[in-house]
Amino acid sequence: MGREFDKLVRDEIPAVIKQNGEEPVTSRVTGEDYSERLVEKLEEEVVEYRESRCLEELADILEVVHAIRKRKGVSVDELNEKRAQKAEQRGRFDEGIVLERVEK
Protein backbone atom coordinates (compact mmCIF):
# COMPACT_ATOMS: atom_id res chain seq x y z
CA MET A 1 0.00 0.00 0.00
CA GLY A 2 1.32 3.43 -0.91
CA ARG A 3 1.50 6.61 1.11
CA GLU A 4 -1.17 9.26 0.52
CA PHE A 5 -0.27 12.95 0.22
CA ASP A 6 -2.79 14.94 -1.88
CA LYS A 7 -0.68 18.10 -1.78
CA LEU A 8 1.04 20.43 -4.19
CA VAL A 9 4.72 19.61 -4.63
CA ARG A 10 7.67 21.15 -6.45
CA ASP A 11 7.86 20.30 -10.17
CA GLU A 12 10.83 17.94 -9.86
CA ILE A 13 9.50 15.87 -6.93
CA PRO A 14 7.99 13.12 -9.15
CA ALA A 15 11.41 12.60 -10.79
CA VAL A 16 13.06 12.41 -7.37
CA ILE A 17 10.53 9.81 -6.28
CA LYS A 18 11.24 7.75 -9.42
CA GLN A 19 14.98 7.97 -8.75
CA ASN A 20 14.26 6.47 -5.33
CA GLY A 21 12.66 3.44 -6.99
CA GLU A 22 9.06 4.40 -6.28
CA GLU A 23 6.24 5.31 -8.66
CA PRO A 24 4.52 8.66 -8.08
CA VAL A 25 0.85 9.02 -8.94
CA THR A 26 0.21 12.64 -9.87
CA SER A 27 -2.40 14.96 -11.33
CA ARG A 28 -2.35 18.62 -12.28
CA VAL A 29 -4.48 21.47 -11.01
CA THR A 30 -5.23 24.71 -12.81
CA GLY A 31 -7.24 27.84 -12.29
CA GLU A 32 -8.78 28.44 -8.89
CA ASP A 33 -7.83 24.92 -7.75
CA TYR A 34 -4.16 25.78 -8.35
CA SER A 35 -4.53 29.08 -6.49
CA GLU A 36 -6.13 27.31 -3.53
CA ARG A 37 -3.41 24.63 -3.48
CA LEU A 38 -0.76 27.37 -3.39
CA VAL A 39 -2.38 28.91 -0.32
CA GLU A 40 -2.54 25.47 1.32
CA LYS A 41 1.14 24.97 0.48
CA LEU A 42 2.02 28.33 1.99
CA GLU A 43 0.28 27.34 5.21
CA GLU A 44 2.10 23.98 5.21
CA GLU A 45 5.49 25.62 4.72
CA VAL A 46 4.84 28.18 7.46
CA VAL A 47 3.98 25.37 9.90
CA GLU A 48 7.17 23.53 8.91
CA TYR A 49 9.20 26.69 9.46
CA ARG A 50 7.56 27.30 12.86
CA GLU A 51 8.57 23.79 13.90
CA SER A 52 12.13 23.75 12.51
CA ARG A 53 13.19 27.41 12.22
CA CYS A 54 15.58 26.27 9.49
CA LEU A 55 16.67 28.31 6.48
CA GLU A 56 15.51 25.60 4.04
CA GLU A 57 11.90 25.96 5.20
CA LEU A 58 12.15 29.74 5.01
CA ALA A 59 13.32 29.36 1.39
CA ASP A 60 10.31 27.10 0.73
CA ILE A 61 7.99 29.83 1.99
CA LEU A 62 9.62 32.30 -0.36
CA GLU A 63 9.28 29.88 -3.29
CA VAL A 64 5.55 29.54 -2.65
CA VAL A 65 5.18 33.32 -2.29
CA HIS A 66 6.82 33.75 -5.70
CA ALA A 67 4.51 31.14 -7.24
CA ILE A 68 1.50 33.03 -5.84
CA ARG A 69 2.97 36.31 -7.10
CA LYS A 70 3.37 34.87 -10.60
CA ARG A 71 -0.14 33.40 -10.51
CA LYS A 72 -1.52 36.85 -9.68
CA GLY A 73 0.48 38.44 -12.52
CA VAL A 74 2.63 40.51 -10.16
CA SER A 75 6.29 41.13 -10.97
CA VAL A 76 9.10 40.85 -8.44
CA ASP A 77 9.56 44.60 -8.71
CA GLU A 78 5.86 45.25 -8.02
CA LEU A 79 5.93 43.00 -4.97
CA ASN A 80 9.09 44.64 -3.65
CA GLU A 81 7.62 48.08 -4.30
CA LYS A 82 4.46 47.19 -2.36
CA ARG A 83 6.58 45.81 0.49
CA ALA A 84 8.64 49.02 0.54
CA GLN A 85 5.49 51.18 0.50
CA LYS A 86 4.04 49.32 3.47
CA ALA A 87 7.36 49.58 5.31
CA GLU A 88 7.42 53.31 4.66
CA GLN A 89 3.82 53.80 5.81
CA ARG A 90 3.64 51.34 8.71
CA GLY A 91 7.21 50.36 9.46
CA ARG A 92 8.96 47.01 9.39
CA PHE A 93 9.24 44.28 12.01
CA ASP A 94 12.73 45.24 13.18
CA GLU A 95 11.96 46.37 16.73
CA GLY A 96 9.95 43.43 18.03
CA ILE A 97 6.96 45.54 19.06
CA VAL A 98 4.01 43.53 20.42
CA LEU A 99 0.64 45.29 20.57
CA GLU A 100 -0.91 44.14 23.83
CA ARG A 101 -4.11 46.17 23.66
CA VAL A 102 -5.54 49.58 22.75
CA GLU A 103 -7.25 51.52 25.50
CA LYS A 104 -9.63 54.47 25.29
Q: What is the pLDDT of residue 74?
A: 98
Whether residue 41 lies inside any domain: the answer is yes
- Which residues span the domain enclosing 72? 30-76
Whether residue 36 lies inside any domain: the answer is yes
Whether residue 64 lies inside any domain: the answer is yes
pLDDT digits (tens, 9 = 90+) for 15-50: 999 999 999 999 999 999 999 999 999 999 999 999
Q: What is the pLDDT of residue 68?
A: 98
Over residues 51-71, the mean pLDDT reads 98
Side chain identity at 19, as an amino acid letter?
Q
Whether residue 46 lies inside any domain: the answer is yes
How many domains, in total, are found in the chain? Answer: 1
Whether residue 61 lies inside any domain: the answer is yes
Instruction: Report the predicted TM-score, pTM, of the whole model to 2 decimal places.
Output: 0.91
Whether residue 72 lies inside any domain: the answer is yes
From the CB of residue 4, how many other CB atoms can be counted at a distance below 10 Å? Answer: 7
**Does residue 2 have a pLDDT over 90?**
no
- Do 27 and 15 form a contact (C-beta atoms < 8 A)? no
